[in-house]
Structure 1
Amino acid sequence: MKHCESCRIDFATPVEICPVCGGPLSGQNEKPVYPVLGFRRRYHLVRRILLFCSILTVAICVFVNLAVMPHFWWWLIVATSFIYTWTALPHILRTGGNAGGKILMQVVCMGALVMLLDAETGWRGWSVDFVLPIILCIGIAAIMVVVLCNLTHWARYVLYQVVLALLGFLPLVFYWIDFSRVFWAAAVPAVMALASLTALALFGDRSIKNEFLKRFRF
């Protein structure tokens, strides 16, 4: 480690000059660490192989489906599942990022997925009657857990909390326009959304308002 007598700070660097004050650094030189590019190449190779296997699997399913059961296109379910996996997993596994954004992304993707699967299997309405409300409830609960675990940084998640809360009223809207048929299932996420917004209004401090002003540049 290098040490700056003026700043009294240690630096892991091979240079001889302090990056803060420009004074001399004392101590042993550190060898620079360079990224290992070979690992990145192997990662891209494995990703391409998995993508090829996914496309090949869907193609085989299409052939088998049309040859054995042409009256029911179940290959669409397989293709939809692969599309969801390739769309959502990279976002989940990406290091860094905002946990609230990841939760919102999964709620939107999973909600779209179940509705698409319902449509592909003849649209029985199970997606909007039960599964979508469950997904929204899990999303609202998850963002509240994240907020409770990071109360000092609540402002970072407030925008995602509000968006998820607004989405929580969507099943109730679907019921009002006769798109869904189960009232209690539509009401549960709406109640959770109302509780989330109420908690935000009662316990949010000035940093919450500043976050909104920064996001929307008022």
Structure 2
Amino acid sequence: MLYCEYCKVKVAGLHKKCPLCHCNLSGESQDDLPQYPMIKSEISKVYFIFKLMKLAAISACVVSVLINYISYKQTMWSAFVIAGLACGWLLMTIGIKRKANLIKLLQWELYITCGLAALWDYFTGWHRWSIEFVLPCSCIACMVSIAILSAILKKQPSEYLIYLNLVNILGFVPIVFFMLGWLQIELPSAICVGCSFLFLTGIVLFKRHAAYGEIKKRLHV
């Protein structure tokens, strides 16, 4: 390796003079040594776990189809397994892609969960569990989660009010189902509407100006 007598340092690479003092170097250069240190690229553990989960999901789909084909061919129950895994994979993918904004992520997960639940309910005989339980319970959980996260993360009103208002709007949808006579079990929907009204009242009382300003900004009024 090259050596500078004046700076008392070793110099790697192909150099004739010292990069520090520009004096002649002694010794022999080694071409096999890199001029700059190699940076090892470490594979993220999260990315590796994500790949393992993908492999496990595909394996579960294949195994369920094989068992369905071998044991009982009259009912394609494996289609429900594949559909369930696809729904879970969709929710997880959206969660990973939108993890930067947790409050916005909660809103997206709420809408997608309610939509997927409605599809499952419709294609399995429309027992109305999606509008009697999933929708109201998900709305309540989302409203409470947004309130807690905004307090813990010390978010500004402009960062969470628009999402909380959108969730509140969805929380009043059970009123439409009640008027149409679609609800057989009304208690979860009644609690959901009550919580939405309380959250809306709190916004009007404490964050009225911030909410109005955010609506004007979003709607370009």
- What TM-score comes out, normalization by structure 1 length? 0.69
Report the CA distance between 1:53 and its aligned residue. 3.9
Report the CA distance between 1:213 and its aligned residue. 2.4
Change (3 A) 1:45 1:104: same
- Rg larger in 1 or in 2? 2
Alpha-carbon contact 2:95-2:105 (below 8 Å) kept: yes
Is structure 2 residue 70 aligned with structure 1 residue 39?
no
Percent identity over the alignment is: 20
Report the CA distance between 1:65 and its aligned residue. 2.5
Alpha-carbon contact 2:132-2:188 (below 8 Å) kept: yes
Provide the secondary structure at the position in 2 that maps to 1:39.
coil
User: Cα RMSD (Å) of the superposition?
Assistant: 3.0
Which residue among 134, 141, 158 is the counterpart of 2:161?
Answer: 158
Counterpart Cα distance in 1 of 2:178 and 2:186? 7
Which residue among 133, 138, 148 is the counterpart of 1:135?
Answer: 138
Change (3 A) 1:164 1:52: same
Supply the AA of the counterpart residue of 1:211: E
Report Cα offsets for 1:103-127 as digits up to 9, x if no partner: 1122122223333333343332222
Alpha-carbon contact 2:64-2:78 (below 8 Å) kept: yes
Supply the AA of the counterpart residue of 1:203: F
Counterpart Cα distance in 2 of 1:135 and 1:35? 46
Partner of 1:18: none
Partner of 1:175: 178
- What TM-score comes out, normalization by structure 2 length? 0.68
Is structure 2 residue 208 aligned with structure 1 residue 214?
no
How many residues are treated as equivalent by the alignment?
184
Counterpart Cα distance in 2 of 1:197 and 1:144? 12
Q: Which runs of 5+ in 2 are unaligned?
A: 1-37
Supply the AA of the counterpart residue of 2:188: A
Counterpart Cα distance in 2 of 1:180 and 1:36? 59
Counterpart Cα distance in 2 of 1:205 and 1:35? 53
Counterpart Cα distance in 1 of 2:146 and 2:209? 20
Counterpart Cα distance in 1 of 2:86 and 2:123? 14
Partner of 1:201: 204
Partner of 1:55: 58
